[in-house]
Homo-oligomer: A and B are copies of this chain.
Amino acid sequence: MMKKASDIVSQFKRLHSHKPVKRDLKLGKAPGTVTYLGRRAGGKSIIDSLLYDPTVYKKSEVTDISALASPPGGQQTQWVNIVGLSEEALMDELGKSIGLNTLVVEDIVNTEQRPKMDEYEDYLFLVLKMLYPDGKGKIVKEHVALVLKERQVFVYQEVKADVFNGVRSRIEEHSGRIRSRGADYLLFALVDALIDNYFLVLDIIQGQMDELEKEVYTRPKTETALKIQQLRKDVITLRGWMSPAKELVARLISTESPLISKDTRVFLRDALDHATEIQETLHIQRELAFSIMELYMSNVSNKMNEVMKVLTIMASIFIPLTFIAGIYGMNFRNMPELEWEYGYFIVLGIMFLLLVGMLVFFRRKDWL
């Protein structure tokens, strides 16, 4: 069982890479220094462009970064997708080309950056966390940075994730409003897709919680406590991310930036509603996890009670009986009972009566 402990520990490791992998790389460096902090160093960055308006739909790979410096012609909206953030020089160059503050570029490649929104004169900068189940019951966390400029949205990701596929196909299939609205609506659609995905994570957590509660009640094991602990850590960590994420959406709604139209704010209010709901659900789940732990503790105590009862019953019945047998096992010369014809059977009878008496006693105490 001891050997399995480490397996279980690793099996449940998922959201908790609290240890910022290379945070100390940044210590002492000037603010604004572009330093990649992720776990995927060495990969190539791929930059894609998606241009659309109600009639146009054009997908292409971006090779010339300088082409991104100005918004697309006509009333077209451009979604620039950057996958892979480890090429610090490229990130720096791209940032300069589209006019980003170096502090912003620093935050783009800082995969440990918590959710936030910064407003600049001609663009908005957002950092969010993307969460999705990896299919094996684990939850994967990814860093996503978004830049909204006039008619352009830049999406920085570490890996190409499915979470934006819905938005992509809505654009491609011209379904819903998305093709006829601007970059701010695209930004909303992306943020909304990210937040909606949190519900999946909540469902997974809730499922595990329900399962654990059952396990706690029917067959609590030592590992169960660790699983509960793991769930608590998940919930605590998610709560730590949701509060800045919600604040971010609230600020998107209330910002005075002309980049966000009044129409889009109505939709954002819906996203804020979802964020609030997620936060409250996490609050409830935190309390539930706490109470499951208490249930576990009470069941451990109950199990111990059961063990103790077995011991007490066995010992209380047989120790006195053994004592009686011990008496008549003594070797005194003068022990009249030993000479009786039916002494042995009388003693056996007494023992039997004692046994029955004990059983009745324990039955009355409701221990049997």
User: Who on chain B is nearest to A232 by CB?
Assistant: B291
A31 in complex: contacting residue of B192, B206, B288, CB < 8 Å: B192
State whether the Cβ of A64 lies closer than 8 Å to any Cβ in chain B.
no
Q: Is the CB of A296 within 8 A of B298?
A: yes
A197 to B298, CA, bound (A): 34
> Knowing A192-B31, A314-B319 touch, does A307 contact B5 (C-beta < 8 A)?
no
State whether the Cβ of A293 lies closer than 8 Å to any Cβ in chain B.
yes
Q: Is the CB of A217 within 8 A of B5?
A: yes
User: How many interface residues does chain A have, given as a range?
Assistant: 35 or more
Q: Is the CB of A284 within 8 A of B327?
A: no
Please give the distance in Å from A139's CB to the nearest CB on chain B. 15
Which residues 279-326 in A have Cβ within 8 Å of B in the complex? 280-281, 283-284, 287-288, 291-305, 307-312, 314-316, 318-323, 325-326
Residues of B within 8 A of A327 (CB): 325, 348
State whether the Cβ of A339 lies closer than 8 Å to any Cβ in chain B.
yes
User: Who on chain B is nearest to A167 by CB?
Assistant: B28
> Knowing A270-B103, A366-B219 touch, does A166 contact B343 (C-beta < 8 A)?
no
State whether the Cβ of A11 lies closer than 8 Å to any Cβ in chain B.
no
Q: Is the CB of A243 within 8 A of B294?
A: no
State whether the Cβ of A214 lies closer than 8 Å to any Cβ in chain B.
yes
State whether the Cβ of A136 lies closer than 8 Å to any Cβ in chain B.
no
Q: Is the CB of B339 within 8 A of A344?
A: no
A28 to B166, CA, bound (A): 4
A103 in complex: contacting residue of B18, B32, B267, B301, CB < 8 Å: B267
Which of A200, A325, A348 has most chain B Cβ within 10 Å?
Answer: A325
> Knowing A176-B30, A328-B330 touch, does A302 contact B302 (C-beta < 8 A)?
no
Please give the distance in Å from A261's CB to the nearest CB on chain B. 15
Could you name 29 residue pairs across A and B whose Cβ atoms are closer than 8 Å? A2-B219, A9-B213, A9-B214, A16-B210, A23-B199, A114-B280, A219-B366, A225-B295, A229-B295, A236-B287, A243-B280, A297-B301, A300-B301, A300-B302, A300-B305, A304-B305, A304-B308, A307-B309, A307-B312, A311-B315, A314-B315, A314-B320, A325-B327, A326-B326, A330-B344, A330-B347, A331-B338, A332-B338, A333-B343
Known: A236-B284, A297-B301, A314-B319. 19 other contacts (CB 8 A): A6-B214, A6-B218, A30-B175, A31-B189, A219-B366, A222-B299, A226-B295, A233-B288, A233-B291, A237-B284, A240-B284, A243-B280, A296-B298, A304-B308, A308-B308, A311-B311, A318-B322, A328-B332, A330-B344
